[in-house]
Amino acid sequence: MQADNRLPRYQRLRDELVAMIAARHWRPGEAIPTEQALAKSYDVAVGTVRKAVDLLVAEGMLERFQGRGTFVRRASFDSSLFRFFRFQTKQGERRIPESRILRREVVEAPSAVAAALQIAPNARVIRLSRLRLIDDVPMLAEEIWLPFDRFEAFARLPIDGIGDLLYPVYEAECNQVIASATETLTVEAIGPLHARLLRIEPGTPTVVIERLAYGYDRHPLEWRRSRGPASEFIYQAEIR
Amino acid sequence: MQADNRLPRYQRLRDELVAMIAARHWRPGEAIPTEQALAKSYDVAVGTVRKAVDLLVAEGMLERFQGRGTFVRRASFDSSLFRFFRFQTKQGERRIPESRILRREVVEAPSAVAAALQIAPNARVIRLSRLRLIDDVPMLAEEIWLPFDRFEAFARLPIDGIGDLLYPVYEAECNQVIASATETLTVEAIGPLHARLLRIEPGTPTVVIERLAYGYDRHPLEWRRSRGPASEFIYQAEIR
DNA sequence: TAGTGGTCTAGACCACCGC
DNA sequence: CGGTGGTCTAGACCACTAC
């Protein structure tokens, strides 16, 4: 198994580093070997190692600290909600919303979900219905889908032992690490079901965020759809 | 005028290159000197030049072409609308919407506009009201504000000689080059005035895009607010 | 073919961290 | 203090472009 020799060395090295992370040989939070050590063991110059690491730092997979070392970055999605919504407490704080899991069931995957998760149609999936609240006010209604075979342990967890953030649970209980995700935003008038959950009028404009989350190996692990009132929505972008 | 000696050389060099671009010594579309030449004239190693240029390429200010040279990038905002909307023709093409300027006037800047453009309150500004259409169907209603002193020539242009894109006109007629911008998106129920322009029902959810556009020297040059139907809105993001 | 950016090397010295 | 990443140099060779 030899990588394509036509690619630059720093590219091939980058790919090998990714493979080590994907294989959980180096785990999130841990330091990878020093640049000198990597240069020696992969038989390239230190400058080449630096360039490969530069790429992964830019991709958000590694984090460098002068004098300490280079570490596998733990993806933090906590701030993702704040990227799109101005949610805050009455005191103006921003904190992670409380989670209330309304329902958990194992079902056959609807075809759209199966396609997104790249599993067989009608394969079993875990379906989670969840409400996220700040100061007891519902802010987001979420549906979450997980492939059953990878997340079997999750289906058996006592439901009220699950905290506000799911990704640490995936990691601890199912050995599945979320590394990245793509999100698609649209605006819809909310249906009666979700309107009741969010305690707003049916037909109120809501922002729908569809997120497909991947492991380090770019295999899709979770699909979710979140809805929040459009009045709370705000997004900022840099254009060049 | 000596830059801070504590900054790395590649950082100082980057700043000097930006200054050359901001001063229009090197203009958009033109090549800057070769890496060898820059290394010689700034008395640093080629590797240091490369790192400075790397930064500006990442920032979108320069563009490299192997074998040809390094060029000052002309910011292209044409695709910015497509970043947020699924606008397309009946044939499914994506092209730049037609522009129809409804009104152009010189007024005193409202305080919010003056603050955004960093000009004196009540300083004169050019206010443009514009409609953007695809297949004669209105897609976006825009208000655009320009500081009068920089864009005086624009106020005198025959209004139907102005094409679908404004930024090339700013450059050709006013010597003002837009280099970057920040956009803020929110969702609002549309008011009766804009509803009539867009030929939709008052109260329909619309996405409001506020854009502040800057020159290479980061000085604000244009402020605009665009409204489009939320039903056409779609946005995709990568999360890490 | 001459000139451009792209890759890669080898090594020096600096700034910062933790012990 | 030793070890880490950060900066900078100098030079070789490659790949691509324009003429």
Domain boundaries of chain B, sorted by first residue:
9-72, 78-232
Q: Which residue of A has its CA nearest to B75?
A: A240
Q: Do domains B9-72 and B78-232 have the same CATH topology?
A: no
Token pair belonging to A148: 């059953």
Cβ of A216 near strand C (distance < 7 A): no
Distance of B219 CA from D12 C1′ (whole Å): 44
Indicate whether B2 pLDDT > 50.
Answer: no
Confidence class of residue A2 from pLDDT cuts 50, 70 and 90?
very low
Give the model's pLDDT for residue B93.
81
Give the model's pLDDT for residue B1.
40
Query: Å from B79 to nearest chain A CA?
Result: 10
| Higher per-residue pLDDT: B4 or B183 | B183
Closest nt to residue B66, judged CA to C1': C5
Confidence class of residue B53 from pLDDT cuts 50, 70 and 90?
very high
CA dihedral B216, B217, B218, B223 (to 10 degrees): -70
Q: Which of residues 5-44 of B touch A (CB under 8 A)?
A: none
Residues 2-21 of B with CB under 7 A from strand D: 8-11
Give the model's pLDDT for residue B90.
83
Distance of B40 CA from D6 C1′ (whole Å): 23
Task: From chain A, pick out residues whose CB is under 8 angstroms from the CB of B235.
Answer: 184-186, 235
- Per-residue pLDDT of B129-163, as tens digits, reads 999 999 999 999 999 999 999 999 999 999 988 98
Average pLDDT over residues A112-120: 97
Residues 66-95 of B with CB under 7 A from strand D: 66-68
Helix (H), strand (E), coil (C) string for B109-168: CCHHHHHHHCCCCCCEEEEEEEEEEECCEEEEEEEEEEECCCCHHHHHCCHHHCCCCCHH
Does the CB of B230 have a partner CB in chain A at under 8 Å? yes
Strands B235-239 and A205-214: unpaired
Closest nt to residue A65, judged CA to C1': D5
CA angle B229, B230, B231 (to 5 degrees): 90
CA distances from residue A71 to A28, A80, A213 in whole angstroms, order as listed: 7, 22, 22
Query: Å from B75 to nearest chain A CA?
Result: 6
Averaged confidence pLDDT in chain A:
92
pTM of the model: 0.88
HSE toward the beta carbon, residue A125, CA cutoff 13 A: 28
CA dist A237 and A230 (Å) reads 18
- Of the residues A187, A206, A208, A221, the best mutation for testing chain B's interface (the one with the most B CB atoms within 10 Å of its CB) is A187
Cβ–Cβ below 8 Å for B237 and A59: no
Indicate whether A26 pLDDT > 80.
Answer: yes
% of chain A at pLDDT higher than 90? 79
Indicate whether B3 pLDDT > 60.
Answer: no
Query: Å from A210 to nearest chain B CA?
Result: 9
Please provide the CATH number assigned to the domain covering A78-232: 3.40.1410.10
Q: Which of residues 84-143 of A touch B (CB under 8 A)?
A: none
CATH topology of domain A9-72: Arc Repressor Mutant, subunit A (1.10.10)
